[in-house]
Amino acid sequence: LLVDFVIKGGTIVTPYGRFSGSIAIDEGKIVAIGSESSMPNSDRTIDSSGRFVMSGAIDPHIHLGLGVPFPEDCITETAAAAAGGVTTVGDFFRSLKSYHEVFPDIKRGVEANCIVDMFFSFGIMRRQQIPEIGEYAQKHGVTTFKFYGKYGLELMSYRQQAPPEVVEETDDGLLLDGLVEIARVLGDDGMGCIHAENYELIHTKKEEMKRNGMNDLTAWSDSRPNYCEEEYMAKAIYLSKVAGVRLYNVHMSVGKGVGIVEQAMKEGAKIIAETCPHYLVLNKHMNHLGVRGKISPPLRDVEDVQLLWNGIANGIVKTIGSDHVIVPKETDDIWKAFPGVPGVETLLPIILGEGVRKGRITLERANEVCSRNPALAFGLYPRKGSITVGSDADIVMVDMNEERKISANDLHSKAGWTPYEGLEIKGWPVMTMNKGEIVYEDRQVIGRPGHGRYIPRPIAAQRKDAN
Ligand SMILES: [Zn+2]
């Protein structure tokens, strides 16, 4: 018996603990886990001595095709993912059309160009998309949907594509109707995702600050105060209970959000909170970042950063998503620049360096929030997010002693810049494997575009006839 790979000599890390052991991999799957002597012969042996071996990171929150055409983004940005130890990415795709129209193209784009695997969450931007939710799940394997509330208005204002009658639809009425439909046709196989910012509160504040001539990063943050996010979270959690749906709070930036989520969980809400690396490292006083620090929700204060780390350590904040996006930052005007930062490649290094090496969280917790939990939340588990016999051989090997500074020159994203330039990190991915193929090794991306697959999410058999 000969298998493709045996990874031996290192320490395997799971959310439940760590042990010395070896992993055998064949035809893209994990086929055995055990002692070195119990392993079958292999074509190639990977020595992981002194390293930690974990299930590959899953970044459930990226945005492709905004600054660069989607297929092109698939190549460079999944190369960045591979180099960052990320083996599956979840793209939040937005369209004003029916997703039946756009899905075949984007799926082709993924399977022709991606180096690692990808799944989609669709933005529900129009009423006519709501009755199609059940079919999106059945026909395309998309079970998670994002709602923007009135923030959709602001989002669209950066582009010229949205007819006004369309953006008027992105309100809380659309949110509730969408959540109810997800619960009805998908139950707990589906999930509603929210951008939690009350844009009506922001709009007033923002106009006032503009009039007063303020124009720096702190002003951007102060124009959308913490309460705008906290209020929207509380409302959306309430509506999710009305609908009886699983709710995913993407990019939670406010420290108080941890308490809101903890309380809601105690009261039976099916809430999952995600935060992003930028909210764990950067803050609103870093005015040197200028428009490059402009994100929605915005960077917060130093205490928020601390509270979010505590939330991860305590198991309240369940997942980390990068909200990765390439957008042009062509203007220095904080009000006019596109919001967003690239971050898929630096997600895991930041969790390892700033989280684990700084003693804020354990490596086990890092694996849980970067791999197992996003797999569970998005219906990918146990195919993804687990070192288990039968799971996809999506593996990252990390060297917790490797030390270097983050530099855009070393990164693979087409963005060409990073908000973490110069940040010293101890703890880097050194080898990434996707479905039994090495896609990153010796600081080189060697995965080929087209190796990555589109990953549909399953729905329970009894739901298939539900609509
Ligand atoms: Zn968002």
State how far the Cα of 328 lies from the Cα of 114, in Å rounded to an integer. Answer: 22
3-class DSSP state for residue 188? helix
Q: Which residues of 86-122 are buried (b: 16+ CB within 10 A; e: fewer)?
A: bbbbbbbbbebeebeebbeebbebbbebbbbbbbbbb
- Residue 205 contacts residue 225 (beta carbons within 8 Å): yes
Closest residue by Cα to residue 391 from 141, 47, 117, 52: 117
Q: Indicate if the alpha-carbon torsion angle 434, 438, 440, 445 is positive or negative.
A: negative
Exposed, middle or buried: residue 267 (CB in 10 Å: 0-12, 13-18, 19+)? exposed
Centre of ligand 1 to C-alpha 237, Å, is 16
Q: Give 54-82 pLDDT, tens digit per residue.
A: 999 999 999 999 888 999 999 999 999 99
Alpha carbon of 78 to ligand 1 centroid (Å)? 20
For residue 133 the two structure tokens come to 């939710």
The two structure tokens encoding residue 210: 């503009």
249 C-alpha to center of ligand 1: Å?
Answer: 9
Report, in angstroms and rounded to the nearest whole number, the Rg of the chain calculated over CA atoms: 21
Question: What's the pLDDT at 167?
Answer: 65
Q: Please say whether the dihedral angle defined by the alpha carbons of residues 467, 111, 54 and 65, taken in this order, is positive or negative.
A: negative
pLDDT at residue number 151: 87
Q: What is the pLDDT of residue 296?
A: 96
Give the separation between CA 386 and CA 368, rounded to whole angstroms: 9
Could you tell me the CA-to-CA distances from 205 to 201, 212, 225 in Å, in that order? 7, 11, 9
Residue 360 C-alpha to ligand 1 middle, in angstroms?
26
pLDDT, position 165: 63
Spatial distance between the Cα atoms of 292 and 441, rounded to a whole number of angstroms: 30
d(CA 388, CA 245): 29
Task: Specify whether the CB–CB gap between 408 and 422 falls below 8 A.
Answer: no
- Listed as ranges, residues in the chain with pLDDT below 50 are 467
pTM score, two decimals?
A: 0.97
d(CA 392, CA 25): 9
Angle at 128 between CA 124 and CA 133, to 5 degrees: 55
Q: What is the pLDDT of residue 166?
A: 65
How close is the Cα of 195 to the center of ligand 1, in Å? 4
Q: How far does the centroid of ligand 1 lie from the alpha carbon of residue 194, in Å?
A: 7
Reading phi first (left if > 0) and then psi (alpha if -120 to 50, else beta), residue 461 is in alpha
Q: How far is the CA of 193 from the centre of ligand 1 (A)?
A: 9
Residues flanking ion ligand 1, Cβ below 5 Å:
195
